[in-house]
Structure 1
């Protein structure tokens, strides 16, 4: 593909926009006055004017007028920056200006071609002006000394000729102007500074006539990258400019309803509509419950509804056991609804053919084990699922993301099989009743709103009625948790005065006070309901997409005086800080939707205990070993505990 100056100007404009977009304020330190380095670039050349007399022995029968080319540029550079605004630059190096003229037709109706290989030793001093942050512009003269002046000429009725162009100027004086951006890539505390500087410049045709005869002229757009090194002095210590007022930090305590309560929970368990396959194998993984024909004949979905667990939350073991029966649940539902149909979409990073194999293996199990008519099950192969975890441009934790994309998705329009919740397709949920003791419900939540931004750290001192003090911390985020049974120790009940002590980032002390009352009810048993919202790996997928489900299904079950516990979680993929905020925002948004629905129904005396745990593995409802565990950890859990 041939280049022209208009395309080069567009590329120049695009690079300029990128540089502007990347302009962010940098922390100022003592910067070097002198910088040294190297640069490399591509010259995008445009030829105009007329060239016909190549040398004393060759005159082309037809004149050449326009042409283009791309040639290298390389230099050593030096910069002098006596101030933060003005400075000087000097580039000395090799400057390629060769190209190819557009072919012409000679009077003999014969095609003629002309290519040039011209280059210069160039000296380019410039005035440099910083605009904002590390964005700068520069302009100055260009002094070029000719190094090469070769040409190649072809014509059907003349012999091919390689030679030197005559009447070439030995010295060219012209001008250039450009824009660049200095990206610091060295440590802020290092005295050896290193900059990576993309730049683009324009060399107009003024003064760039390479010959003493004719009117051939050259215009150039140059785009490249420079690496600069400088030696800085030690920066003087700065006095903090901002003192954080203590009033900007808000301290609240959320105490659990009771400690160590056994709860009979009726849980609406969402079912992912996916079967995940192991890397390197097309067989359905052994962790999925695969029944014999005899066992399948007697299998009923209701068998999974009385999964009893009494240790911890029990949620991981209970839900995964049910989920790993997904093919048996699907087979049972297809058997009970003979008019229902499904589509199986297999996805594999190895290609559509293998994706189809995965889908066909699932189909074969349903046909051979449950006797489902093969005509009711369609299959297809894909490289990625419809809603993939791996997004374009992703570079981190790709192995984990691709594990989640190697799967077979089950799709159906039959409400007896699947349903749509918040725009996501899921298997129709299963109802589970079990007895559990949820340690998370016994946590005391200490919220210090603004701590992560305003404080270095904060700690807690809890003093009981006898004056015994317990110390917890330090904490560094906006929320800290302590198990209620740890605070109570062997006591059945206790009231504690709480003092939160912190230090602002400017070094000022901070103190806030509160109180908490805890009650142990070891033998108490209460009934509750649990709902979950599952999210795909998608930053834009917010709790508001489940508004209809929360308003129509969950909110009507929350009675006057009830306690609603909302926990947000994520998997371990991605930035820990981002995941923490994501889990908090989803949990808080869920609470707001429910509160609005309750207010519309005239119920305002409902107590919420809402928190986000991010990817905290100690609090996660599932492990993060299997892709299905990570999918189930992308969740908001809603526990409804009515007044007993």
Structure 2
């Protein structure tokens, strides 16, 4: 007879393999229906290992030589139940047929005769366990006691030249208590949105022999390595909305499909805005605002080297207009090297404007960590650059030193993100009352300098995105996600989301396809655990029209402010609105920096964008413009959608913005 022994190394390999599967499953981001109760069955192989000593098999049989070690592979089968009220903690219960039978290693009797002993030991086992998913994923570990009720205690003893003996052990414990620990992973088999979920769950466990001594006499003990698989079923009530009609009008630029559902007497409205035509690129003329601050590094009063430094000879030939078309073409809804390059020329732009407008004057206000003296030095260094390199007369530039800027980012009592806030307050602000340096932004008292005009090719424009709106999501839903399926059944998953809006680039959905029809399923989980769903359809087609040209304007905000939009009313009313064509589209998207709570920043960016829309919409109505479509999106501090990175203070300041894209009707 072949006996099987599992070494410690083999046990470790088995357990590490399950850990690897668990981490791999955790990398998936699919949002599934998550029932609280699961039921099913499992099957496994018991790798039983015997140790200790047994020799007196019963009152009638004392074998001549004691047996010590043994092993076997025997079946295990259970009915199971699991309770998972959350993503991490839960409970398990298995009621199982547990075969602990096996064969001892052969021994040699005094007669020089080989002898063998095997047993059909088996139990009904009750196994309650604590279940923990430490990474809130499909991987889990479990541990708990075991209660085994004996079913069979039969043995077979064989000795050469003697008749086999079939009998029962005596002194077998009727009830045996033990302990186990194990790990497993749940592999989903059902569709993510299905109200009935089915999982296949490989698992491995270890049953200790610390208490597993089947007899009240002698020292025979059993430990078991178990490896198997479980099939589990769970169900959760799902509220489903009827499918909605898809987009079919070929002459429509955008279409919105809306439906509502009531959850706990509160209305949640789902809507999908999909472009009929997905533009890949668009030429854009951008009016880029010039932030009137130079930010200094901590513990340095020198102008940082990221700002473009020109020698006097280079400054002679510098012109602001050179920046319009000379930068890299990276004008998209994500990172923008072009605009940052324009900003980092701020001292050269100011020098050029002062040189061209000989009567203009400026005030440099330096602020430095409650150190006005250092703030004054920072301002003097900026003045020295303009005087020495651009030849500006010294009396035209006044300098001041302050401990904090006139409009600081750090507020009294602030305790969070102080390093980032203080980086933003260490700066030289450039002030002026000279209209030649300003645009009509907020009138004569505006602090904002005239924007720079730049042109580029905008990649992945916002009107090519599918916009998903879930009005009420932030208040009523824990999370929501979207599954988009094409006509071949290929599914794409997006999410999870926690805010009221999300957008997906149309070209990302299309991939390599020129056009396609898609089913959109939005699935949300309410804060009470109810699953709600909504279906719609969209049709998309790619288009590349190099002749189409759009306009872009940006307005900036101070930290944690949105009502400063009032200072832009004149600019939005008299400069921006007249340029909107009839039947055109205006996309207004708000952003914040990374400082602060995600939900708060999302609301702040949405308020900024909505106020901008109200001003433009009112001016459009007064001006008699017709057929204008407005789309308002608040991205908050979403780093994947912010115009700039958030590494430098100037990038964070530029992310406190509302961007206005004007798209012609064609």
TM-score between both structures, scaled by the size of structure 2:
0.57
Match of 1:443 in 2: 465
Alignment partner for residue 404 of structure 2, among 384, 387, 391?
384
Query: How do residues 90-105 of structure 1 correspond to structure 2 at under 5 angstroms?
Result: none
Query: How do residues 223-238 of structure 1 correspond to structure 2 at under 5 angstroms?
Result: none
Alignment partner for residue 657 of structure 2, among 630, 635, 640?
635
Specify whether residues 633 and 295 from structure 1 end up closer, same or farther in structure 2 by C-alpha distance, changes over 3 A only: same
Tell me, what secondary structure is at the counterpart of 1:594? helix
- CA–CA distance in 2 between the matches of 1:566 and 1:636? 7
Query: How do residues 446-525 of structure 1 correspond to structure 2 at under 5 angstroms?
Result: 446-465=468-487, 469-522=491-544, 524-525=546-547
Q: Does 1:276 align with 2:295?
A: yes
Equivalent pair of 1:351/1:383 in contact (CA under 8 Å): yes
Equivalent pair of 2:282/2:545 in contact (CA under 8 Å): no
- CA–CA distance in 2 between the matches of 1:497 and 1:349? 55
Alignment partner for residue 267 of structure 2, among 240, 248, 260?
248
- CA–CA distance in 1 between the matches of 2:534 and 2:440? 46
Match of 2:393 in 1: 373
Match of 1:329 in 2: 349
Q: Does 1:578 align with 2:600?
A: yes
Equivalent pair of 1:443/1:482 in contact (CA under 8 Å): yes
Cα drift, residue 538 of structure 1? 3.6
Alignment partner for residue 263 of structure 1, among 268, 278, 282?
282
Match of 2:211 in 1: none
Specify whether residues 312 and 323 from structure 1 end up closer, same or farther in structure 2 by C-alpha distance, changes over 3 A only: closer
Query: How do residues 103-118 of structure 1 correspond to structure 2 at under 5 angstroms?
Result: none
Match of 1:559 in 2: 581
Match of 1:290 in 2: 309
Structure 2 unmatched runs, 5+? 1-261
Specify whether residues 582 and 642 from structure 1 end up closer, same or farther in structure 2 by C-alpha distance, changes over 3 A only: same
Cα drift, residue 511 of structure 1? 2.8
Specify whether residues 467 and 587 from structure 1 end up closer, same or farther in structure 2 by C-alpha distance, changes over 3 A only: same
Tell me, what secondary structure is at the counterpart of 1:425? coil
Specify whether residues 401 and 505 from structure 1 end up closer, same or farther in structure 2 by C-alpha distance, changes over 3 A only: closer
Could you report, residue by residue, the CA deviation over 1:249-304 in whole angstroms, capped at 9, with x for unpaired residues? Answer: 10111224643522111111100111111111111111111111111111111111
Q: Does 1:537 align with 2:556?
A: no
Tell me, what secondary structure is at the counterpart of 2:643? coil
Alignment partner for residue 351 of structure 1, among 359, 363, 371?
371
- CA–CA distance in 2 between the matches of 1:299 and 1:534? 26
Match of 2:359 in 1: 339
Specify whether residues 540 and 448 from structure 1 end up closer, same or farther in structure 2 by C-alpha distance, changes over 3 A only: closer
Cα drift, residue 630 of structure 1? 0.6
> What is the aligned-residue RMSD (CA, Å)?
2.2
Tell me, what secondary structure is at the counterpart of 1:638? strand
Cα drift, residue 350 of structure 1? 4.5
- CA–CA distance in 1 between the matches of 2:458 and 2:326? 10
Q: Does 1:434 align with 2:456?
A: yes
Number of equivalenced pairs:
402
- CA–CA distance in 2 between the matches of 1:627 and 1:420? 26
Cα drift, residue 566 of structure 1? 1.3
- CA–CA distance in 2 between the matches of 1:281 and 1:474? 43
